[in-house]
Every structure is written in structure tokens, then in C-alpha cells.
Amino acid sequence: MPVLQLPADVADVLRSFYTCEVTTVNRQGQPMTWPTLTYFDEPNGQMFFAVSIAFPVKAQNARRHPQVSLLYSDPTGSQLADPPAVLVQGEAVVADVLDLFEPRWTALTRLATQRQPDSSAFTSNKIARRLFDWYLFKRIGITVTPTRILVWPGRDFSRTPQIVEVAHVEQ
């Protein structure tokens, strides 16, 4: 049984949307939102993503201000029929160094290759890999544990969102 109990259509969105819009909050209280490829770690009921050390702002913000959000509102490529939009608010934990053999990172890189098939020519090129080591390998992992989930059926934001109780089931 998954740790996080979610309606099937919401879980589908978290699994299938190519990107979500991740927001962190900087020192000045300014929200910054960027599209991000995330992995839904279903066994642990968490979302996982990683940022390059060259562009560490999300990680630095989340260390100071762990309350973050992930909006899943763009279904392009997901092949889901009329999915809802989903806003996940949660607490972020930021690692110091990404373990390249961590199963969640392996799963995320696999997802990236599936969703962006043209990237494999780049990532399999040994020279490109060395030149872009700061982008491909020198990364900081960020794990988000949901605390509140809002859902807009049909991605209709003119409606009042439904609140999904975040029930973490102990295993």
C-alpha cells in the first residue's frame, strides 16, 4: 500500500506530468517559480528533484525556508485525458551532495531520458559529460513531503479547489 493515499487521477498527474512549477521563497520573501522535472517517489509519498550546483537557488531558498510548493498544471506530453491540476504544498529537505546511485535519482534520470529522448545523444557523449559535469552530475537533491494538496478538476481554475487530505500511512 502506498504511504500517501491519493485519488487515482491525482496520483496519475504526479507520475505523468513532464514538469511541474516549483516555488521556493528567497530571503526577501519573494516567491520564485521555475518549471522542474520531478519524480514521484510513491513508496515514500514524496516528490524528489535535483538542482545543479551552478544554479543552486532553489536549494539555498529551501534550506532557509523549507515550505515549498509544486503546481502540476501543464499536461503537455503526459497523454492523460483531461487530468486535473494539482498543487502540492510541502516541506523540503535539501541534501548536501546528490548520491548519483540513489534509486530516486536513477528513476528521475530514466524519466528524463524517456521524456526527452534527444538528450541521450548528449548524455552518452563522454566529452559532453565532462564539460557539463556541473549540470549532469554535480547536483543537490531536494525531497518534498506533502502537507496539503489542492486539486482543480479539469484544470479549471475558475472553480474552488478540492482539498485532498494528506494521509501518510505508517508502514
36's enclosing H/E stretch is strand 31-36
Is residue 62 within 8 A of residue 94, CB to CB? The reply is: yes
Is residue 42 within 8 A of residue 11, CB to CB? The reply is: yes
Binding mask 73-112 for another protein (x = CB under 8 A): xx-xx-------x-x-x-------x--xx----x---x-x
CA distances from 72 to 41, 100, 107 (A): 16, 26, 19
Interface region with another protein, contact rule CB under 8 A, candidates 3-11, 46-54, 163-171: 46-54
CA 84 to CA 80: how far, in whole Å?
10
CA nearest to 74, candidates 16, 119, 33:
16
Interface region with another protein, contact rule CB under 8 A, candidates 4-12, 38-46, 47-55, 162-170: 47-55
Smallest gap from Cβ 116 to another protein, in A, equals: 4
Contacts with another protein, residue ranges (CB under 8 A): 18-19, 21, 23-25, 28-35, 52-56, 65, 67-69, 71, 73-74, 76-77, 85, 87, 89, 97, 100-101, 106, 110, 112, 115-119, 122, 124, 126, 129, 131-135, 137-138, 147-148, 150, 155, 157-161
